Amino acid sequence: MRLENLPSEFQKALPILEKIKSAGYEAYFVGGSVRDALLDRPIHDVDIASSSYPQETKAIFDRTVDIGIEHGTVLVLDQGGEYEVTTFRTEDVYVDYRRPSSVNFVRSLEEDLKRRDFTVNAFALDENAQIIDKFNGLADLDKKLLRAVGKAEERFNEDALRIMRGLRFSASLDFDIEATTFKAMQTHAPLLEKISIERSFIEFDKLLTAPHWKKGLQAFKDSQAYLYLPDLENSQADWDEFCTSYEDGVTFSSSEQAWAALIIALKVKAVKPFLKKWKTSVQFQKTVESLVTIYRYRQDQEHGLRQLYQYGRDLIEVAEDLRQYQGQSVDFEKIAELDAALTIHDKHDIVVNGGMLMAELGLKPGPELGKILSQVEWAIVDGQLANEKEAIFDFIAKQK
């Protein structure tokens, strides 16, 4: 099969293939970029596989960087871009269900493609836009089916993260998982405990933010992968409710919003400790916790000036979106009105500060000063005090 319309990303990189071939080696575009071109999806990274060994690749180009040379990958700086060129390789025994103990460079494209995870990721594309399909991936692509290359048990035993990748692909591509492949996922799901949580987080995060996250989440539940990920072992009863509570066609706008939705559905009480087990950043934890708090507050009562001031309009609206996704009543107009009514949006907007109060009113540093500043701040937020120097000094005088 020939790709009729070669995407511009490949066209730009064609000279790389041609240089390698003119030096006497084979070279192809490989992997997810080829799949995405066949599906008419946006292409992100263009990967190149070659029969040239790393040192041979480096000899072909003037500018290269050794970014993973022990695994056969050389970064080529050419044609105004950066391209990863990886030598055809086979892999030795996997010692930790994630990484091979060693890799062996080979000259055979087919041997290289055999080690790929799924048939729809095992395509190669030559300089003439001809698709090389060694494992009937085109038929699986046509059927929207995700099937492991070769023996599924071997693929997941080699690298258990492929289970999470498969679930993620199901969610992003809207593909079903072939029965034998899915059974192997279920069988090998316990191996996810041996995978670094950072890598599992990345794949699960991509699943949650994918267009067809409900499909991916259903497979995630049915595979019982959740049993082997942090604080999800008792969540079985919540997955169906999570999916059904959101209207079809909903796609979360950010990772933070998606994880807030997950935490709400799982009825997690301590948000930060939960996210800490997933090795997320402090800022991520803070944002998600705020979204969950805003959402839960809004379930019982309307927002006021204090909520808008404390969390900001953007976060309030992201949390309100979650209500809208669930078909609940929303009031974005009121949020806008409250935001407009705020005379300050940050304590630094206040026309006086601690230094001024100490200098002009003779106040001493310490807890009492902090208490006075807090009273001033909230009085301004509540609309009870004008953000003016004289008014603030009068307010402080009355508090004494």
Shared domain check, 309 and 176: no
Q: How many angstroms separate the Cα of 134 from the Cα of each of 28, 121, 131, 194?
A: 14, 11, 10, 31
47 is annotated as contributing to ligand binding: yes
Number of domains making up the chain: 4
Q: Would 41 be classed as within a structural domain? A: yes
162 is annotated as contributing to ligand binding: yes
Q: How many angstroms separate the Cα of 187 from the Cα of each of 166, 225, 283?
A: 14, 10, 36
Shared domain check, 210 and 196: yes
155 is annotated as contributing to ligand binding: no
Shared domain check, 193 and 85: no
The CATH number of the domain holding residue 326 is: 1.20.58.560
Shared domain check, 138 and 21: yes
The mean pLDDT value of the chain amounts to 93
383 is annotated as contributing to ligand binding: no
Q: Which of 114, 143, 172 is the last residue of a domain?
A: 143
Q: Would 369 be classed as within a structural domain? A: yes
41 is annotated as contributing to ligand binding: no
Shared domain check, 283 and 199: no
The CATH number of the domain holding residue 63 is: 3.30.460.10
Q: Would 149 be classed as within a structural domain? A: no
The pLDDT tens digits for 312-356 are 999 999 999 999 999 999 999 999 999 999 999 999 999 999 888
Shared domain check, 361 and 313: no
Shared domain check, 28 and 54: yes
Q: Would 225 be classed as within a structural domain? A: no
Tell me the one-letter amino acid at 155: R
Shared domain check, 313 and 248: yes
The CATH number of the domain holding residue 383 is: 1.10.246.80
Shared domain check, 261 and 247: yes
Let me know if 262 is exposed, middle or buried by CB neighbors in 10 A (0-12, 13-18, 19+): buried
Shared domain check, 266 and 391: no
Q: Along the chain (400 residues), what's the average pLDDT of each consecutive run of 10 residues?
A: 90 95 97 94 92 96 92 91 93 59 86 94 96 97 97 93 97 98 98 95 98 97 96 90 93 98 96 98 98 96 95 97 96 96 94 87 86 94 94 86
Q: Would 296 be classed as within a structural domain? A: yes
Q: Which of 171, 192, 220 is the last residue of a domain?
A: 220
Q: Would 2 be classed as within a structural domain? A: yes
The pLDDT tens digits for 361-377 are 888 888 888 899 999 99
Q: How many CA atoms lie within 13 A of 258 on its CB side?
A: 20
159 is annotated as contributing to ligand binding: yes
Q: Would 259 be classed as within a structural domain? A: yes
pTM for this structure?
Answer: 0.91
Shared domain check, 276 and 255: yes
Shared domain check, 243 and 320: yes
165 is annotated as contributing to ligand binding: yes
Measured at the CA of 212, the angle between CA 207 and CA 216, to 5 degrees, comes to 50
Q: Which of 174, 192, 220 is the last residue of a domain?
A: 220
Looking at residue 292, what DSSP letter applies? H
The residue segments making up the domain with residue 215 are 154-220
Q: Would 148 be classed as within a structural domain? A: no
The pLDDT tens digits for 78-100 are 988 899 999 999 876 555 555 65
pLDDT at 91: 72
The CATH number of the domain holding residue 212 is: 1.10.110.30
